[in-house]
Amino acid sequence: MKHPCSGVILAGGLSTRFSGKNKAFISIGEKCILDNIYEVFSKLFTEIILVTNDPAQYLEWNLNIVTDLLPIRSSITGIHAGLFYSTNPYSFFIACDTPFLKIELARAIISNIDNETDIVLPETSEGFQPLCAVYSKQCFKTVERQLLKNKLKISQIFKKVRVKKLSEKLLRTHDPDLLSFFNINTPEDLLKAEKIIPHTFK
């Protein structure tokens, strides 16, 4: 890997639409979501960090388990903690409810890291994909300032750092159906994921 990079899994959500069930442990096919992410990460990163406020649930995985630094529940809080604890200058972030992350896509995002970029940000017709992206340590203070102002949208930092956007055309060369960005927010999403399985896990 040209630029040292950590892998960070964000697992801080409340999963309210799943009656509190941890989405990282939802089974898709024969694997739970976290197992699939971990399998990809273990092939890419020597340092894997998981951000959670319930560390005891994850002790069976070989992960560096950390918690949020600030008592604010949001995805950007997890990015803040991941950047703080990472020992590498760059970190690839993924949400724990993303069952179909493809190693080819993750590798393509990482390969676009350079010294002139703070965020490598995929962009599709659905918009930016900030929870399947690379952030540099240089973003830490910017993220922290946003949190302290209670500005919790990740997109609010994009104009304050150097962003390299990756086009949908490029992304589809590595993940034709863009399944890496599919995440499970609702029971309906889970039903969709179960229909996707035959085309992914073979």
Pair type for strands 48-51 and 5-10: parallel
pLDDT band, very low/low/confident/very high, at 122 (cuts 50, 70, 90): very high
Whole domain around residue 35: which residue ranges?
A: 5-199
CA 64 from centroid of its chain's CA atoms = 15
pLDDT(199) > 90: no
pLDDT in the model for residue 49? 98
Q: Which amino acid is at 55?
A: P
Q: What is the CATH number of the domain that holds 193?
A: 3.90.550.10
Name the percent of the chain lying above pLDDT 70: 93
Least confident of 62-71, 88-97, 185-194: 185-194
- Residues 67-83 pLDDT 10s: 999 999 899 999 999 99
Tell me: the pLDDT tens digits for 130-181?
999 999 999 999 999 999 999 999 999 999 999 999 999 999 999 999 999 9
Do 92 and 8 meet the contact criterion of CB atoms below 8 Å apart? yes
Which whole number is the average pLDDT over 93-107? 96
Beta-carbon contacts of 104 under 8 Å, excluding residues fewer than 6 positions away, are 174, 175
78: which residues sit within 8 A by CB, 6+ positions away? 8, 10, 12, 51, 68, 93
Given a cut of 90, is residue 198 above it in pLDDT? no
* Mean pLDDT of the residues in the chain: 92
CA 111/CA 117 separation, integer angstroms: 12
Match 């998981």 to its residue by tokens: 50
- Reduced to 3 states (helix: H, G, I; strand: E, B; else coil), residue 36 is helix
Is residue 69 a contact partner of residue 147, using CB atoms and an 8 Å limit?
A: no
Model confidence at 20: pLDDT above 70? no
Domain count, the chain: 1
- The percent of residues in the chain predicted with pLDDT above 90, rounded, is 79
| For range 88-101, the mean pLDDT | 96
Q: What is the mean pLDDT of residues 31-48?
A: 95
